Amino acid sequence: MPPRRRLTPADRRAQLLAVGARLFAAHPYADVLMEEVAEQAGVSRALLYRHFPSKHALFAAVYQQAADQLLAETRLHPADSLVEQLIQGMDVHLDYFVANRHAVLAANRVLAGDPVIQTIMTNELDALRARLLAVLPLADESTREAVSDVLKSWLVFVQVLCVDWLTHETCTRTQLRDVCIGAILGALRPLLAEDPAPDWPPQESRAAAQARTSGWGS
């Protein structure tokens, strides 16, 4: 066990969260033991349990911290094009998903339906939806409601698709990202007065799609 250092309660909590995040990222949920968290943090199990009464409580705190960080790092600004904003937001989340595969799978598979974890994920998706609504050109309230419903469904679609991709990578990361972006652009186009991304898909993607279509007919 590393030598124990005196920390303020806030600093100790932050240290324990960092150790927990590292272990939950490196190992399946079932394999992470509170005893190991305490050992790597250089504290007694009693002190660990004073901050986090259970492994579930520690994981929930780790996942809440991750959700807050993802929201902070997702830049949605009207000065950027919609495609630029979507690419940046998707890349931020995919960076986290890839680096924290076990934690993401724990939240979405092992603890699927857990009310605490589900609330954390729902709150983050709702915050992302609100930010997207704020940067989209919406003509009136009825359009806003329709777009809001589409965004809500799309965010769930992205979540499910990315979790499935983590378990079985059937395409490249770039292809996954572009599928998600193409899905929301296709869903939004009928609802908006102007095409939100007239240059999407990129020219090379269009050429590839046309080549595949030609192949089907040959």
pLDDT digits (tens, 9 = 90+) for 137-158: 898 999 999 999 999 999 999 9
pLDDT at residue number 115: 98
pLDDT at residue number 214: 53
Give the tokens for residue 22: 């590292």
Give the tokens for residue 17: 């969260």
Give the tokens for residue 85: 């904003």
Burial 49-66 (b: 16+ CB within 10 A, else e): eebbeebeebbbbbbbbb
pLDDT at residue number 210: 53
Give tens-digit pLDDT for 61-105.
Answer: 999 999 999 999 998 877 889 999 999 999 999 999 999 999 999
Are 84 and 98 within 8 A, CB to CB? Answer: no
CA 210 to chain centre: 32
Are 189 and 196 within 8 A, CB to CB? Answer: yes
Evaluate if residue 106 carries a pLDDT over 70. yes
Q: Which has the closest alpha carbon to 44: 4, 11, 99?
A: 4
pTM: 0.87
Give tens-digit pLDDT for 171-207.
Answer: 999 999 999 999 999 999 999 999 999 999 986 555 5
Among positive and negative, which fits the CA dihedral 191, 145, 108, 47? Answer: positive
What mean pLDDT is predicted for residues 121-145? 94
Give tens-digit pLDDT for 3-62.
Answer: 556 789 999 999 999 999 999 999 999 999 999 999 999 999 999 999 999 999 999 999
Residue 57: helix, strand or coil by DSSP? Answer: helix
pLDDT at residue number 64: 98
Evaluate if residue 218 carries a pLDDT over 50. no
pLDDT at residue number 212: 52
Say how many CA atoms lie within 13 Å of 120 toward its Cβ: 22
Evaluate if residue 209 carries a pLDDT over 70. no
For residues 134 and 130, what is the distance between their CA atoms, to the nearest angstrom?
6
Evaluate if residue 211 carries a pLDDT over 50. yes
pLDDT at residue number 3: 53
